[in-house]
Structure 1
C-alpha cells in the first residue's frame, strides 16, 4: 500500500462569506403593502360636524326601536271565550287539612293498652333498661296519656281502693322493712324510757 502524505490545505469547508454589499443585493425583499388606516384623520375632532340634509316630513329613526306595527290588546272571540271559561273554573270544594276526630276515652285507652310499641318499651323498662331519645319521649307521652285516661274514666281510684283493701298493715310491713323500722320506738330500748 502506498502512503498518502497529509496536507495542511483542505478544500472549502462551508459557504464563502459574502461582503455586506453583496449580501444586501442577494437578500429577498418583503412584499410592500399599503398601511391600513388606524383611525380618523388627524385633526378630525376639531373639524366642524357636517349635518346631512334632512328630508322634509321624516324624522330621525332610532335603529334601536323595534317594529311600529300596532298590536291588538284584546284577542279574538275564541280567545275571549277560553278566558271566560278559565275564570268560571273556580274550585267547588275548599281544601283543608284533615282533622282526626278524637276517640272516646274508652277507645283511646283500649288502643293505648294494645299498642305494640308501647308494650315493648314497658317490657324493656321493667327489665331495668334505660330508654333514651325518641323511645323515651314516646314512652313518657303515652304513659302520661294513659294515666290521664285512667283518672278521667275513674279507673285509677278503683285500682287504688282495690289495692288498699287487699293490703293490710301486716302485709305492708312484710313488703317494706323500712315501714317496720319507722314504727318501732327505739328510744325505749336504747334510753330505757
Structure 2
C-alpha cells in the first residue's frame, strides 16, 4: 500500500481559497484618548505659560517639593512652642472616660499584676490626670466641709441594729403574704 503525502497546495479540481491578507489590514488601529498627560508636559508647560504671559519666569522643576530645611532634632525653645491640641478640661474628661484606664484600674483593684507596658501607661496617665487637676484647681481629696461618718465604738450596737432591720424585714414579709 502506498502512502499519499499530503500537501498544502490546492488541486486544480479542489475548492478555490481566497487570497491571504496581511495582518495589518485586519487590525484596525485606534489611538487611546484621555489617558494621562501628553509626553513632556511638565517641561513644556512652564515654557509655554511663560511665553504666553510674556514675563521672564524662573524655570522651576515641578517634580521637587519645598526646599525649606527641616530640623531633625528639636531644641528646648522649639519644644516649648508646641501647643496642646485640647483644652485641659477636654483632655481631663477624655482621660477619665478612657476604657483602657478603667479596665486597668479594675485589674489593680482586683489584685491582678499588670504587664510592664500597662503599668507604665497607667502611671503616666494617672500622673497626667494629676497635673491637669492641679492646673484646673481640682483636688482629689475629700472636701473639708463634709464630716466623716461616725464610727460606732461597740460591735454589739451594730449587731442589734442589724437584728432590728432583720425583724422589720420579716414583719414586712408577713404583711405582704396577707
TM-score (norm 1): 0.36
Question: Looking at CA atoms only, which structure, 1 or 2, has the larger radius of gyration?
Answer: 1
Q: Name the structure, 1 or 2, with higher relative contact order (CA <8 Å, separation 6+).
A: 2
TM-score relative to the length of structure 2: 0.39
